[in-house]
């Protein structure tokens, strides 16, 4: 079945559905194409099945991009409170878990159904199981698909990134962008566990399942949350956060005792017969204390350790350098960092500056949020910006 529409949205995830609904509300004839059998697959699994749909503390500083200012306009014009109003209008109960993170009390599918209900009265035509083929552009865009040929004045790329391949992800947005001459910042896994290989880190891999509250740094960026050891390396909120900033070949720096002076804790036991590892175990899990000493400072009675060495040990406790071998890749990544270069797009409308009528939103764009609902808010905000311009 062929289609002649005003707006063609490629991608039935958070950004695509919201953009389609908002554009339809403006009276635009809209069709949405999704290659998977159903819409909102990533929404359904997010937040442990409860969808962390926004964060109350959303601000531009919560996003990573080659142009950190690009997200300001869209975020300012459609805020978390705006999306919360939509959630409340549909009677979806929600709660704040921590740090401004909002989750559905029930199922993430409530958000999917909300978006579906927003699309229906707006007349949005949704095609699922639809593969996109050749895309050409003369006065209008022409898109060949398994559901027929669509022509549209506006084409919105909302097909996301490469994270979680089992959901049927595609690099379509990047391919189309490059086809029309737009630069793409090399996509890479974001919010992803880090791996540790080699004999040096074998002791840490044996700590699988153990977690502790720490501070993790890469360059000038720091996150203070839980760190989790896995059988392959490191995970937990602090590690997922820092992974978006980490680059291969660089170390991450872990503070085992954030906000606690390690030197004072050690000096207090200066004349003790207690082993260094035993003293550390008063502040971190014992298994971690033993493993850390095996790697960084062989344990022996405190009274045998001189003042200078205590100072050096304390410094390493606050600046433990670990060299990841890599990440667990797109299979375990919650988001894709990188994407369509923001320099190619209008920050107000999300339209390509050199290709009138071509828009890119959500995860397809080089804007990556921190963990905790920020990426969903970027989806809503960027979709809203594009919907007002298509």
Query: Which DSSP string do the residues of 183-243 spell out, in sequence order?
Result: -EEEEEEES--EE--SGGGHHHHTTTT-EEEEEEEETTEEEEEEEEE-SSEEESHHHHHHH
CA dist., res. 262 & res. 348, Å (int): 48
pLDDT of residue 1: 46
The pLDDT of residue 302 = 87
Q: 278, 282, 300, 301: which is closest to 290 by C-alpha?
A: 278
Q: What's residue 269's pLDDT?
A: 79
Question: For 195, phi and psi rounded to 5 degrees?
Answer: -105, 150
Question: What 3-state DSSP class applies to 166?
Answer: helix
Q: Which residues in 285-313 are b (16+ Cβ under 10 Å) and which e?
A: eeebbbbbbeeebebeebeebeeeebeeb
* pLDDT at residue 259 in the model: 80
Q: What is the pLDDT along the chain (390 residues), one digit of tens a residue?
A: 468 999 999 999 999 999 999 999 999 999 999 999 999 999 999 999 999 999 999 999 999 999 999 999 999 999 999 999 999 999 999 999 999 999 999 999 999 999 999 999 999 999 999 999 999 999 999 999 999 999 999 999 999 999 999 988 899 999 999 999 999 999 999 999 999 999 999 999 999 999 999 999 998 899 999 999 999 999 999 999 999 999 999 999 999 999 877 777 788 877 788 999 999 999 999 999 999 999 999 998 988 988 888 889 889 999 999 999 999 999 999 999 999 999 999 999 999 999 999 999 999 999 999 999 999 999 999 999 999 999
How many angstroms separate the CA atoms of 60 and 44, rounded?
26
**What integer pLDDT is reported at residue 2 of this predicted model?**
61
Candidates 10, 123, 74; CA nearest to 367 is 74
Alpha carbon distance 183, 147 (integer Å): 29
Beta bridge partners of 199: none
Model confidence, pTM: 0.95
Q: Which domains does the chain have, with CATH numbers?
A: 3-188+335-387 (3.50.50.60), 194-327 (2.40.30.10)
């Amino acid at each position: 079945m062929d289609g002649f529409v005003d707006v063609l949205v490629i991608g039935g995830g958070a950004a695509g559905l919201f953009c389609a609904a908002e554009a339809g509300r403006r009276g635009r004839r809209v069709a949405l194409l999704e290659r998977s059998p159903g819409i909102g697959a990533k929404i359904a699994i997010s937040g442990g099945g409860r969808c962390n749909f926004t964060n109350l503390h959303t601000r531009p500083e919560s996003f990573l991009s080659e142009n950190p200012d690009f997200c300001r306009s869209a975020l300012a014009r459609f805020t978390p409170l705006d999306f919360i109003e939509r959630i409340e209008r549909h009677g979806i109960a929600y709660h704040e878990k921590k740090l401004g993170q909002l989750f559905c009390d029930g199922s993430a599918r409530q958000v999917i159904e909300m978006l579906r209900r927003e699309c229906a009265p707006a007349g949005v035509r949704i095609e699922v199981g639809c593969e996109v083929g050749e895309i050409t552009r003369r006065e209008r865009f022409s898109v060949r698909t398994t559901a027929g040929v669509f022509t549209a004045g506006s084409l919105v790329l909302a097909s996301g990134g490469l994270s979680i391949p089992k959901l049927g992800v595609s690099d379509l947005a990047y391919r189309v962008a490059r086809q029309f001459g737009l630069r793409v910042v090399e996509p890479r896994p974001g919010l992803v566990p880090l791996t540790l290989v080699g004999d040096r880190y074998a002791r840490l891999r044996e700590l699988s399942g153990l977690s502790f509250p720490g501070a993790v740094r890469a360059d000038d960026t720091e996150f203070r949350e839980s760190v989790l050891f896995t059988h392959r390396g490191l995970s937990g909120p602090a590690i997922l956060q820092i992974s978006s900033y980490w680059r291969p070949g660089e170390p991450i720096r872990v503070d085992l005792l954030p906000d606690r002076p390690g030197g004072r804790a050690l000096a207090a036991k200066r004349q003790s017969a207690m082993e260094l590892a035993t003293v550390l175990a008063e502040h971190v899990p014992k298994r971690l204390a033993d493993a850390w000493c095996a790697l960084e400072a062989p344990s022996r009675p405190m009274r045998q350790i001189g003042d200078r060495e205590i100072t050096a040990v304390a410094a390493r406790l606050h600046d433990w350098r670990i060299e990841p071998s890599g990440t667990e890749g797109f299979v375990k990544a919650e988001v894709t960092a990188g994407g369509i270069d923001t320099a190619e797009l209008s920050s107000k409308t999300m339209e390509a500056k050199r290709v009138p009528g071509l828009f890119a939103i959500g995860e397809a764009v080089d804007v990556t949020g921190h963990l905790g609902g920020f990426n969903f808010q970027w989806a809503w905000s960027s979709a809203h910006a594009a919907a007002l311009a298509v």
